[in-house]
Amino acid sequence: MTTTERSREDVTVDFDVYDQSIAAPIDRFQERAAELAAKGPVVYSTAYGGHWIVTRYNEIHEVLRDAETFSSYPNNLVTNEAFGKFIPIELDPPEHTGYRKALQPLFGPARMKKLTDEIRDVVNDLIDGFAAKGEAEYISAFAHELPARIFLALMDWPIEDAPLFTEATDVVLFGKPGGTEEESLEARGIAGMQMLGYFQKMVDERRANPGDDVTSQLIHTEVEMQDGLRLLTDEELNRMFFLLLIAGLHTVQGSLAWAIVHLVNNPGQRQDIIDDPDAIPTAVEEILRIEAAVVPGRRATRDVELGGMKISEGEQLILMLCSANRDGDEFDEPDELDLTRKPNRHLAFGGGAHRCLGSHLARIELTIALEELHRRIPDYELVESDPPVFHASQVRGCVRMPIRFTPES
């Protein structure tokens, strides 16, 4: 039987991307993703009213490049429609284009390079908080705090407001711990509104007292939109800020956690980057490849065939970037960590019109973090009696990771 002769029933699986039982140990999610990929490039899950799961590199690349056929709204399988769309990720071209152009200069390589010294200061300030102790809960002490503080620095918002984002973004992404689907949906809505209220307060402040920060520039710069050249509305700004926060926080947090796990498990390669910090940018690309955090969603805008499957207009898809990045047709020894891997055309930042806007910032944060961690506490290890706690969702990651190391004198 050829692939094109298979029906939906042949590739139906019992897979729920939000099922926490597949979050740990670290490789369990990847094992499930590999099982799906072995079944076919496009399989069907009965969860959440039914949706397609795209597993292989070529098919995912095809979906990412065709925004006309595969809409990015809704981006999540679990979504509160009353909350509205995230801007610009849940808008399709041409509507998406004006917002993207407004954000592009603020996140370009040149501006990100200027942030380098500030990021290094934040990284070392955080390490100062635990380096002399010989142990730390790495997520709360470092991996979560770093992207939260960099986001606040970028927007020029008060650093003391970071805890608000921690709690609210967790609820928006993961719902109510132990709650029903309905309770989680309600909790997400409340947390989302709380954050929108905060963003509105910042918009009001910067409208009255503009500076040279990203917030002020977005508020006061006219943008070429479909309805002409104009300023962004408060609602557009708030939805944009929401996305920038959500997109930058848990993705970097997850990658910082996976870096520790993979380097603990590959001591020879860890020693290589301790000996040669110049190798770290290439190592970062491999960390991003081997554990891509995001599982983006799409919706078919017309009947289409993909990977031998007939997908109907209106049906949902999720894209398993982590399994695309371990596709043996694209990568040699795809399950092996190779910190010198080149070329490395991973899809961790997505692709096409919605390719991650913050990719330059993420790379700089990860590179500087690994440089300073390996300079100051290079012999870190996981705590066997208190293993890391990972979570599964459409933004995978780690919520807790105790580590030990030789205290800095």
pLDDT higher than 80, residue 170: no
> What pLDDT, on the 0 to 100 scale, is given for residue 3?
46
pLDDT range class, residue 80, cuts 50, 70, 90: low
User: Tell me, what's the pLDDT at 57?
Assistant: 98
Q: Where are the domains of the chain?
A: 3-404
Cβ atoms 245, 327 nearer than 8 A: no
**How many residues are present in the chain?**
409
Rounded to an integer, the average pLDDT of 299-325 is 97
Task: Report percent pLDDT > 90 for the chain.
Answer: 73
**The CATH classification of domain 3-404, taken from the options 1.20.1560.10, 1.10.630.10, 1.10.3720.10, 1.10.340.30:** 1.10.630.10
pLDDT at 125 over 80: yes
Contact 159, 118 (CB under 8 A): no
Of 70-84, 224-238, 373-387, where does the model show the most confidence?
373-387
> In this predicted structure, what is the pLDDT of residue 111?
80
Q: Which residues contact 320 (CB under 8 A, 6 or more apart)?
A: 33, 36, 37, 53, 54, 55, 60, 295
Lowest model confidence (mean pLDDT) among 237-246, 258-267, 281-290, 341-350: 237-246
CB 61 within 8 A of CB 36: no
8 Å CB contact between 377 and 127 = yes
The answer to whether residue 353 scores a pLDDT higher than 80 is yes
Residue 4 has pLDDT above 70, yes or no: no
| Beta bridge partner(s), residue 331 | none
- Bridging pattern class, strands 304-306 and 309-311: antiparallel
pLDDT at 189: 82
User: Mean pLDDT across the stretch 315-332?
Assistant: 98
Q: What is the mean pLDDT of the chain?
A: 92
The per-residue pLDDT for range 214-253, each reduced to its tens digit, is 899 999 989 889 889 999 999 999 989 988 888 888 899 9
